Amino acid sequence: MKRFTILLMSCFLLFGCGLSPSGNLESTTTYTPTILPGDQYSFFEHKEFRIQYPVSFEILKQNQLENKFSNKALVAFLSNQKSEFFTSNIIIEEVFLGTSVKSELFAESIIENNKKQLNTYQELDRKITSSLVGGNPTTTIMIRFNGRLDLSSDLVEYVQVYLTKENKGYIATSAYDPQDPFLEADKLIDSLKTFQLN
C-alpha cells in the first residue's frame, strides 16, 4: 500500500518534481555530459531515453506498474529506504503532444498544471539547464517545488526536468520527503541531470 501511495502521488501530478534542499540551482545553457560514478549509479536504457539512477533503487518497468499508475509512466525507480510516510522515487512519464513543441514551452505548461494540481504548491528553485535529444544539445527547465496532493496529506518535495522529441514530451520527476532523512535528495537530482532522449 505504501508503494502504491508513493507512486500514485508522483503519477497523480502528471509530471511532479523537486530539487536539492542543499542550495540554489545554477543555470547553464551549455551541454556538458553528466556521468555519475559507476559504483553508486547504474544506467537504465529505454528505447526513448536513458538515465542513471542510484544502484540501491528498485526498478519497476512499465509492465510491472500494472493499473496502479497512469499509462504515461514508463518506469519508476524506488528507494530501498522508507521514511515514516514516503519512499523516495524517480518516475519517467511520456505524454503525446500531437505536435512538435520546444522543451521549455512544454516545461512551462507542466509547471502550470502542477500549480493547479497541488495544494500548498510552492516553487523553491528553477534553472535553465541543458541535455541531449537525439544526440543534439537542447535547453530546458529544471524546477524544485513542494506541495500536498490534498490538505490532509504530507508535504512532498519534487524536482522535475522536461524534454520533448517530435510529438512526445517526457517528464523526469524525483519525489522525496523534504526532511530527507536518508540524504537521498542530492542523488535524485544528480540522476535527473543525466536524463536524455535517444
* Segment among 4-13, 93-102, 151-160 with least mean pLDDT: 4-13
- 4 versus 173: the higher-pLDDT residue is 173
Measured in degrees and rounded to the nearest 5, phi and psi for residue 4 equal -60, -45
Domain 2-197, CATH class in plain words = alpha beta
Could you give the strand order of the β-sheet that contains 136-148, starting from the edge strand earlier in sequence?
41-45, 49-54, 196-197, 119-133, 136-148, 156-165, 168-176, 87-96, 73-82, 58-61
- Is the pTM here over 0.85, yes or no? no
Looking at the predicted structure, is the pLDDT value of residue 117 above 60? yes
Residue 176 · residue 22 · CB < 8 Å: no
Residue 131 · residue 167 · CB < 8 Å: no
The tens digit of pLDDT for each residue in 48-99 reads: 999 999 999 999 888 777 665 566 889 999 999 887 778 899 999 999 998 9
